[in-house]
Amino acid sequence: MGAILTQSAAWVNVEKTIDNLKQAGALTPAVLRDVSADKLAELLYSCGYYNAKAKKLKAFVQHLFDDYNDNLDTMFNQDTEDLRTELLTIHGVGDETADSIILYAAKKPVFVVDAYTRRIFSRLGFDKADQKYGNLQALFVKNLIGESRLFNEYHALLVYHGKKVCKKIPLCHKCCIEVLCEYTSDKQAKA
């Protein structure tokens, strides 16, 4: 659920939404399928795009029921590429969401590329062609040991760095990788 709810939302708002769902007793696939779309959207209000996210959650839990009788373990017990391909067929599940589900829920080694990763690597000098999801993901897969724990840690570090330092308006003076950053170099050259 978190992978869908966090689309274009801050995690703090996703936490509020999960609390709403918990209080309403709507944390199981069966309940999410049975609750009306309007009621579900109301429960999702805190994380934004609540009507769209209601449809996405319903599509996911319907797929889980239709193909796996609500058993996530069975769904996750398949080859990573097959699981990713399948997830991408579900309404509202794109590359980042599929990979988040695979890494964090299925605990399989897939690197998640998000807005923070794109921002940081753009500032490090990777051109627009390198910014494609698959290209950035391949960079990590090629250069890191393919372990879910390691991918999880790197992703968490990028998220932290993007939230605290490499913000939309970056705090370059606090950056631990400033010497590698073309954004900082360009900025200093113009000063």
Tell me, yes or no, whether 96 and 184 share the same domain. no
Task: Tell me: do 88 and 120 sit in the same domain.
Answer: no
The verdict on 88 and 130 lying in the same domain is no
Q: How far apart are CA 175 and CA 173, in angstroms?
A: 6
Domain boundary among 105, 129, 146: 105
81 and 156 together in one domain: no
The CA–CA distances, whole Å, from 110 to 3, 5, 52, 122 equal 14, 20, 26, 21
Q: For the segment 67-98, what is each residue's pLDDT rounded down to a tens digit?
A: 999 999 999 999 999 999 999 999 999 999 99
**pLDDT by residue (tens digit) across 20-38?**
999 999 999 999 999 999 9
Of 72, 105, 138, the residue that ends a domain is 105
Domain that holds residue 85: 2-105
Contact 77, 71 (CB under 8 A): no
- CATH code at 43? 1.10.340.30
In terms of domains, do 94 and 170 share one?
A: no
pTM > 0.75:
yes
110 located within any domain: no
Query: Of the candidates 1, 11, 9, 66, which has an alpha carbon nearest to the alpha carbon of residue 40?
Result: 1
